[in-house]
Amino acid sequence: MKISKAKSTLACAITLALSTQCAFAAEQTQEKQKVERIVVSGTPTGVGIRKIDASYAVTNIDSEQIIKLSPKSTADLFKAIPGVWVESSGGESGANVFVRGFPGGGDAPFLTLSIEGSPIYPASTLSFLENSSMFRVDETIETVEALRGGPNPVLSNGQPGLTTNFRLKRGGEETEGLFKYTTSDYDLQRIDAVMSGEITDDLYFMVGGYVKSSPGIRDAGFTSEKGSQFTINITKNLDNGELNFYTRQTDDHGAWYLPTPLNVDGIDAQYTQLGTLNRQATIFTGPDSQAHDIDLGDGRGWDGHVSGGSIKLELKNGWHFSDRFNITKGDANTYGLVPSGSATTIGAVADNGQTAFGSVTNTEYASATPVQQLGRWVVLKEISSFTNDLAFSKKFGDLSTTFGYYTASTSAKDWWSLGNTAYHVLESGGEALTGIECNQSTDGCDFNYDISSTGDARTHAFYVTGEYKFADAFTLDVGVRQENHEVHYSVDEGLDGIITKAVSYDESKTSWTTGLNYSINNDMGVFARVNRGYKMPYFDDFRDNFDAYQGGEKLIKEITQGELGYKLITESTDFYATVFVNEVKGDTFVRRPGVPAEILTNEAYGIELDYNFNHESGFSVNLNTTLQDAEITQSPTNDGNQSQRQPKWQVRVTPSYDFELQGMYATLYGTLSAVDDRFGNNENTVTLDGYEKVDLGLILEPMEGIKLQVAIDNLTDEQGITEGDPRNADAPNGRYIMPRTTRFSVSYAF
């Protein structure tokens, strides 16, 4: 007979009056629920284990923490993960995410984003596309787990760096829901809603999503950010397991914010190239200079779906079976005004040496007016993927084993037109100019790089993991993964119908991991781990490194890592300290598409601190700190330099205090984040100054179910710089962090 949670609670409450034994059991259960934290990341079948028993570093961020962090993008949320440096200043899509000193010039080459344990796209980065661009955070998220290193090279898609796994909210026996309205000082209008409950016995649902629009944090003068998302999650409990199916339909686009001149008065963190005077343009492509009318206001985003599910079963004779799958399909297009070179003045470039005229307003601009070349870039990207991860597991006494088979098919069809540059007035939304000869040329004022390409990749991987418990306090785990990776890719550079590069690639590699875990007591433990994994090449790796590939290079990045960690988990404290060291061989860095790559080796070491403290008085604090040193150890020209865009230290402290205010429940919280100087290029000739940033928030609950929140981001309006100009390191351009913004939301939960 099935007994619901509500009924079992009522039964225990009645028995409490008659039995002290039931009272003791209830107390023990409550205490256990407080102390034990369960994670599923790093487990081959997605079955949860106690966090204190995990022999690797994993960070949990639950829905309540997400509310306080108030992230402006998915990548913005990753700033709360130790060992991770995030540049989310480009808007809601197109972030740069760096992991534990791993090298990179942009995007997120060592980040895999998963939902319910399945990667949403097996290629962590393609040009103009990284995983977080295809995912939006909303009220349907229950928690996110972030696993760095550890068993990552063996499981899922074999990502050796960072895997973030988002878990959706699920329905229960009680019908619950939330409605939330959000606005801001930049005229954001957003509505979120979520509802969950029981459809019938053992069948549960969760539905939710959002709609939103705004002119953008950097005001473009029109609705430059707009989107919607809808998620369904269905769970069926079986006598011997469960079924789960989900789909997430997203159509969300926003302006692409790019580096701006740092040496021109009036150009600061509020400035954006995009505006009503320049969003519509005509570009010319191919040998026949074919004209295309474009709307740069479409910005950068994702229009597609991420769908999947899982089945988990307990079989006979102690065997367990799991299968997790995911299907992703959609368009990830990019439109933007990309700076080319340094700012100058009209007098230096005008045909008459004196003045030029606005192409829209016909305004005459004087000789001293600042101008800059901006490229009208268009990238159309149609992608799809299917992944499946099947596993059988069984426990033989003190030995737990898993046998798995992972498959993935990945495709991408691209059409690019990069370049199409013209001089524009240097003011927000500044118009293009007439009276400058190259502005009227179909070739523009600078390079053009036009391509059409198509690529398909298939991955097959067998993996085996085992964990042996020598004693109650001591365990050893090992894992091995044999992976075969095929790529078929062709590209037409020039849009003239001639294939300039074609690839048929077939390579295999074996990854492994081994870890030791020792429990000092129920609250404290230490672990050690070493692993070796690989980042296999995808389509852009061959285009950018075609000469090296033809010369025999396999274009496989080899990553070796070591970790030593201490963990303490009590009722009030959650603390991880992890020392790490890694080496990345065969990394390639491309300054801009069409330019030969730099192939290098990178070494890094450091320590991550992840500390959470919750006191019964209502005070809590999170400390997230990374200290690291990352060096280029092999390079044609940059041997011995520091790796670009890698801060030696960063600190993030988030205190929070719960209290009563005029009879209302209130929470005051804030975040102080600070980052060290970084180099903007591998040559170490461009220094990006460190900065500090303060965020502040207040939550009020005036009555049951009603919640008011004010969140101020960048309270002091700090003008920090996240990157220089990745396409031209010598140009005095940089991308500012977002300026001060204030959001207000009101929600009703039932």
Q: pLDDT tens across 487-528, in order? A: 999 999 999 999 999 999 999 999 999 999 999 999 999 999
Per-residue b/e over 397-436, b at no fewer than 16 CB within 10 Å?
eeebebebebebebbbbbbbbbbbbbbbbbbbbbbbbbbb
Q: Flag whether pLDDT at 581 surpasses 70.
A: yes
> Pick from 85, 110, 129: which is nearest to 720 by CA?
85
Q: Which amino acid is at 523?
A: D
Residue 636 confidence (pLDDT): 87
DSSP letter for 132, please. G
Q: What is the pLDDT of residues 365-380, one digit of tens each?
A: 999 999 999 999 999 9
Instruction: Classify domain 36-749 at the CATH superfamily level.
Output: TonB-dependent receptor, beta-barrel domain (2.40.170.20)
Residue 592 confidence (pLDDT): 67
Q: CA-CA distance, 135 to 298, in Å (whole number)? A: 18
Q: Which single residue is written with the structure tokens 């985003």? A: 301
For the chain, what are the domain ranges? 1-35, 36-749
pLDDT exceeding 90 applies to what percent of the chain? 85
Question: Is 154 in contact with 479 (CB distance < 8 Å)?
Answer: yes
Residue 415 confidence (pLDDT): 98
Beta strand 721-723 with 733-736: parallel, antiparallel or unpaired? Answer: antiparallel
As a whole number, mean pLDDT of residues 622-632 equals 96
Q: Flag whether pLDDT at 616 surpasses 50.
A: yes
Q: CA-CA distance, 700 to 707, in Å (whole number)? A: 6
The token pair that represents 322 in the structure block: 């799991």
Q: What is the pLDDT of residues 190-242, one digit of tens each?
A: 999 999 999 999 999 999 999 999 999 999 999 999 999 999 999 999 999 99
Compute the CA torsion angle 274, 278, 282, 286 (nearest 10 deg): -40
Question: Is 54 in contact with 38 (CB distance < 8 Å)?
Answer: no
Q: What is the pLDDT of residues 29-84, one digit of tens each?
A: 333 334 467 888 888 887 788 888 889 989 999 999 999 999 999 999 999 999 99
Q: What is the pLDDT of residues 242-291, one digit of tens each?
A: 999 999 999 999 999 999 999 999 999 999 999 999 999 999 999 999 99
* Strands laid side by side in the 162-168 sheet: 58-62, 141-148, 162-168, 111-115, 118-119
Q: Which residues pair with 376 in a beta bridge?
A: 337
* Strands laid side by side in the 356-358 sheet: 364-365, 356-358, 433-434
